[in-house]
Amino acid sequence: MKFSFVTLPDYPLQESIEHIKLADELGFYGCYAADETWHKDLYVLFAAAASSTEQIRLGPSLAPIALREPTQVAQAVATLDELTGGRAECVISIGNFSLLAQYGLDWTGIKTLSRVKEAHEVMRTFLDTGALTFEGEFYKYDGLFTFARPVQEKLPLLIGALRGPRSFEAAGELSDGTHAFAQYSKEACDYMVEHLRIGAERAGRNWRNLDIAVWNVFAIGPDSEKAKAAAQTIGAFYIPAMAVEQMERHGVSQADVQPILDAFGDGDVQGAIDAMTPDIAEKLSVAGTPEEVVDKIKSEIEPSGVNHFVACITDSFLLNAFTERDIEVPDVAGQLQLIHDQVMPAFD
């Protein structure tokens, strides 16, 4: 099992760089960030961290091809690959539906999966060759070229998947794997891996060679109650991004989360947080003491064939910034250290 973490680039930038440097020293596989307008620019952050790190892999998880043109994503990632000496990766998808709505885009009318698959083909070609002549349903290029060339012979390009089954199968068939948002239960992980396998085998590929990652809301600390309260508080913000089918694979119904959705719809952030019950949070996060975290990963996530855990770390800074609530949990550095000291060894 590989361990990585998500940085939400909302901290003072020097602090974010220090987090990445520490994760590099501790042997984390990767650091990822969402390419979303809500946050500071991940490419600038990772470029700044490149010279201060040696092994950790860096890149977007995910890059929204509905908002950012695929060849420009490829250009940015290839440039980052040169800066890092061949440590860049890229996960693409259509993007965060809430963000798309703020741009006035109706995701239901833009053929999301077909567009992502075509964007992947465009980016794979552009990354591999540096030149592109292409005429598809969504993208057209005539003699486009770039001097932005990756150091890696084949820069990893993954498809972010969410609800399935077609998105998981596409990831297995076409890409180097998937980062799947919010997959916490054995049922959800089994479903994801099964459809990833179907797609890979359809293309004559070995699914076990793919990067199969879960991207999960996370909090760890010596006080179980506080860590779970932190995940419960921040986890409410992720409910609108989850599909009904996805929640049902975690034993959570539409009726369970409707009060959260209604509160957000009314602009009542505190009401949405209050409606996020401990039971829902327990099902839709990985949080608690190191022992509890290890147990959940071993019992619910690892058996399916997931080989990469990506922790979206929740700490006091984020809680206060998003909700103005104070819950005493270790900061990002402290949680990275706990993962290294007490979680990673259980998966050697």
Q: What is residue 267's predicted lDDT score, i.e. its pLDDT?
A: 87
| Residue 92 included in any domain | yes
What average pLDDT does range 158-164 have in this prediction? 89
| Residue 49 included in any domain | yes
What average pLDDT does range 215-235 have in this prediction? 96
Flag the least confident range among 32-36, 105-109, 128-132, 211-215: 105-109
DSSP 341: I
| Residue 164 included in any domain | yes
- Give the CATH number, domain containing residue 302: 3.20.20.30
| Residue 270 included in any domain | no
SS3 329: coil
Q: Determine the structural domain holding residue 148 and report its residue range.
A: 2-236+287-347
CA distance 49 to 13: 10
Mean pLDDT of the chain: 95
CA distance 95 to 134: 23
| Residue 123 included in any domain | yes
| Residue 264 included in any domain | no
| Residue 255 included in any domain | no
Surface-to-core class of residue 63, CB atoms within 10 Å of its CB (0-12 exposed, 13-18 middle, 19+ buried): buried
What pTM did the predictor assign? 0.96
Q: What is residue 284's predicted lDDT score, i.e. its pLDDT?
A: 96
| Residue 248 included in any domain | no
- Contacts (Cβ under 8 Å, ≥6 apart) of 212: 177, 178, 192, 193, 196, 305, 306, 307, 308
Number of structural domains in the chain: 1
Instruction: Tell me the pLDDT tens digit for each residue of 72-124.
Output: 999 999 999 999 999 999 999 998 888 888 899 887 778 999 999 999 999 99
Instruction: Tell me the pLDDT tens digit for each residue of 33-84.
Output: 999 999 999 999 999 999 999 999 999 999 999 999 999 999 999 999 999 9
What average pLDDT does range 188-193 have in this prediction? 98
User: How many helices (H) and strands (E) in the chain?
Assistant: 15, 11
